[in-house]
Amino acid sequence: MARPPLSVLDLATVAEGSTPAQALAETTELARHAERLGYHRLWVAEHHGMPAVASSAPAVLIAHLAAATATVRVGSGGVMLPNHAPLVVAEQFGTLEALHPGRIDLGIGRAPGTDHHTARALRRTGGLGAEHFPEDLIELIGYFTGGVERPRAMPGLGYLPELWLLGSSLFSAELAGHLGLPFSFAHHFSPGATEPALARYRESFRPSSVLDAPYVMVAIAVVCAPSAQEARWVAGPSALSSLMLRANRLAPLPSPETAAAYPYTPEERAVVDQITATHVVGDPDDVRAGLDSLLAWTEADELMVTTRVHSLEDRLRSFALVAGAWDGLRPPGSPMTC
């Protein structure tokens, strides 16, 4: 039986001793690498004000990545809609679809992706705007489908990218189901809600003009190396970075040496153990078993792998080993019906 497709989620990670420019260049190399290996899609996430993340402008980065590749789907994982006017997002992604037809994904989320002060600077208002998310999402879709006649997005009508709803809660799961959209769940940072959210999505799903049946993608943090011991060493920076983020001590992704030397308190170690409990870290056999286990209980149609490590070489190697462990990859069909 054929395995479901694997895709890539990337944050254009700025590592200790590196720069945003280098991080963006490395994400470009990762996109080419993922395409050669047969990964289905590569998404970049919108975050703001984070020294370890350079993917603050997904539409700009997606344009560059699509131009640097030929076949892999490229998209947002996601655009945080409360940060933007729906018309602006429609015109950005309508332009991307016109430039790269059939290769653009528009993943939409409702979280701010940043702190309150940065959110206010983005939106020019004191409110976070998330309470208007369903209406804004319907407006956005309308620019592509003709549901909104005035104003008109240009390009918009006739240039619909593959539209996804992202989520880490029951709210987004139910909304995705009601609208008949494919749903991507952030298992990598909200594992406790995975099972109920996927159940809610499938129960509430209504066929739409873009999707006949529920389609689920689950994102999972993975680090793969030739040995389990090396994988744990390479994964150390991601664990420490997650702890620092929780404590609002923002900094570039630390090196493995910095992570190994960090004097964890027992309380901090407990937090890290909780954060990384569902991460898949190990050699190719370990990773294959971990992904198989996730697939068995989520019944996902697609898995999305995110790998935050310090060096580009370790990141490229991890994705290559995962592809090999997954019996090789081949470009699958699209979940969208039209």
- pLDDT score, position 331: 47
Give the length of the chain: 338
- pLDDT score, position 150: 87
CA distance 199 to 96: 33
CA distances from 150 to 119, 154, 156, 157, 250 (A): 28, 11, 12, 12, 42
CATH of domain 6-226+280-325: 3.20.20.30
Q: How many CA atoms lie within 13 A of 302 on its CB side?
A: 27
CB within 8 Å of 128: residues ≥ 6 apart = 82, 112, 116, 119
Place of tokens 């004097």: 263
CA distance 58 to 329: 26
Which residue type does 101 have? P
Strands 6-10 and 302-306: parallel
Q: Quick one: CA dihedral 78, 128, 172, 13, positive or negative?
A: positive
Sites in the chain below the pLDDT cut of 50: 331-332, 337-338
- pLDDT score, position 132: 85
pTM for the full predicted model:
0.93
- pLDDT score, position 127: 55
Domain ranges within the chain, ordered by starting residue: 6-226+280-325
- pLDDT score, position 128: 52
- pLDDT score, position 253: 97
- pLDDT score, position 333: 52
Query: What are the pLDDT digits (tens) for 252-287?
Result: 999 999 999 999 999 999 999 999 999 999 999 999
Q: Helical H runs in 116-264?
A: 116-123, 133-145, 170-179, 194-204, 228-246, 256-261
Place of tokens 């290769």: 103
Query: How many CB atoms lie under 10 A from the CB of residue 87?
Result: 16
